[in-house]
Amino acid sequence: MKPRFISVPIMGLMLLFASWVGTVVTQDLTINTLYKNPKQHMNTRIKVLMDQMTLEEKIAQMAQIDKRQVTAETLRDYSIGSLISAAGATPHENHSATPEDWVDMLNDYQKGSLSSRLGIPMLYAIDSVHGHNSLYRATLFPHNIGLGATRDPELVKRIGAATALETRATGIPYAFSPCIAVCRDPRWGRCYESYSEDHKIVEQMTEIINGLQGEIPPTSRKGVPFIGGRDKVAACAKHFVGDGGTIHGIDENNTVIDWHGLLSIHMSGYYHSVIKGVATVMVSYSSWNGEKMHGNKNLITDFLKGTLNFKGFVISDWNGVDRMTYPWSSNYSNSLLKAINAGIDMVMVPPNITEFLNIVTSHVKNKLIPMSRIDDAVRRILRVKFTLGLFENPLTDYSLVDQIGSQAHRDLAREAVRKSLVLLKNGEHVNSPLLPLDKKASKILVAGSHANDIGLQCGGWTITWQGISSKNLTDGTTAGSTILSAISAAVDPSTEIVYSENPDDALLKANNFSYAIVVVGEPPYAEGSGDNLNLTIPEHGLRTMTNVCRSTKCIVVLISGRPLVIEPYLSSIDALVAAWLPGTEGQGVADVLFGDYGFTGKLSRTWFKTVDQLPMNVGDKHYDPLFPFGFGLTTKPIGPS
């Protein structure tokens, strides 16, 4: 007997085919686009959109991918939630890429997302940690350790606004800032990303969130993300929680502290961030009392989302889920299961998007991850996207590029530099100060590896992840100045300046210098690459400092991300300035050296005598510092001459 469908008339087959095609077309045309209507309440828009999303589309929204791993077609086919420019990734991998190059790149990616079935825009993210630091010619501000020394939350808020504007000018709406770690041990390679060892200063500096995102309205509900316009970005409080308290300051290590200590020292900054409407929180690589933070449900879900009522989304750190096991990624499936169930909403940089999708989909279908957890994550992610206005304005343009490196921003950075400098020594006696310096001195020496290198004075997280030594890293001729060029511009035209990175004895003996300014310090570093158990000034810097200070009156300007061992050299130094990592505007250093402005900065960290004392923080029982927390000599401005 023949199969029955062979006897169906041809016309019937044609009608059946037409009916099937019509159903598919009708389904596409009848997608409820109410979620694209800005007049609708946000909760309505979120619900309408989520009701139409497949499981795979929801899980893809939970992924943030390195932009170098995807194409516009990937975004279209998978509806990926977010992209990141990681470790200095730039358009065409060109570190001199223009703002227009950035805009074009983002628009190309975004068009891929908009062509997906539901057209959900992707969220592009970058590490704007001291300005838009991946962008050539951007304004780069002092790193957080210097900003903590200013004790000026209003200044930090203005820096947040400038950073947001320059970041958004390139089309990027999401910045991984601020770091609200409370660094309790300067041996940690990320200590310069921390405002202070004192949680009270860190709390005050969360004011930067109001600069990055905009001032939260008084009527805003606690914990709900707020972003106030197209010149603002979604901020990210990081790294939750206790990252600055690890044993011996080892990056990604274990923080051993009781519940009261965790709350009072490390958690308070998150409370202040949440009430300011911070959009996202990033989880720390580190552990608390042996439990990896990426898997800590009690802290992420129960405390952050529950007790603190945080309504934004929680994101992992770079490969943070992979690093829950050792060797890394040795049990990625189980790590994803634990991390997502712990409350992580967006997973940064899955090494393979199909692997990520397949594993999480399998966990959901096997009822290991409840659907309610997926829906909670996607709802939070979409809330931030709607708050940013990405559905209304997914593409960007060149209209703000003239704000990048503007004079107003450079003046702000210069102000931040001069307020961040801490004067630790000023002559042997109070009645015989060396500073302010004489602008009309006949001949001065400028020495040291950091005097004429804008890359060294910016530190890590500058153009590249680890930073780099370069005299023209951000085009020093038009975008900022080295300390040497700032000194040259500050002194009287009649003053002769002799510059030598490492002057020899012959130069020092043959020239009768009025005084010498020696600028030395640490090389650039970021994260674990900066972990340092010795904290000594690099040998070539010590050699320059000792040779010069032995021969003439010397002012040492120390460029570093933390206090360094300064004994037994302090007695031979006439004046000592902690300049931290000041960024592109070296003029701020000259402003106070020559008395146009006075020194006002106060130590946001304890300056130890020896590393054997570490960790040592203000309030400790056996507190015996070289310079205590809050120390800082002041000078009176003499005004421009």
**pLDDT for residue 472:** 61
**Length of the chain measured in residues:** 641
Q: What is the amino acid identity at position 135?
A: L
**pLDDT for residue 160:** 98
pLDDT average per 10 residues of sequence, the chain (641 residues): 35 34 44 97 98 98 95 96 92 95 98 98 98 96 98 98 98 98 98 98 98 94 94 98 98 98 98 98 98 98 98 97 94 97 94 92 98 98 98 98 97 98 94 95 98 97 92 54 97 97 95 96 98 98 97 97 97 98 98 98 98 98 97 90 57
**Residues noted as catalytic:** 317, 527
User: How many Cβ atoms are within 10 Å of 120's Cβ, its own excluded?
Assistant: 26
Task: Calculate the alpha carbon distances from 493 to 78, 434, 442, 506, 639 in Å.
Answer: 63, 21, 10, 26, 17
432 CB-near residues (< 8 Å, 6+ apart): none
Helix-helix angle 371-388:332-342, to 10 degrees:
70
**pLDDT for residue 431:** 83
**pLDDT for residue 29:** 61
Q: Please give the model's pTM, rounded to 2 decimal places.
A: 0.94
SS (H, E, C) 199-239: HHHHHHHCCHHHHHHCCCCCCCCCCCCCCCCCCCCECEEEE
**pLDDT for residue 440:** 97
**pLDDT for residue 471:** 65
**pLDDT for residue 429:** 85
Helices (H), 302-370: 332-342, 353-365
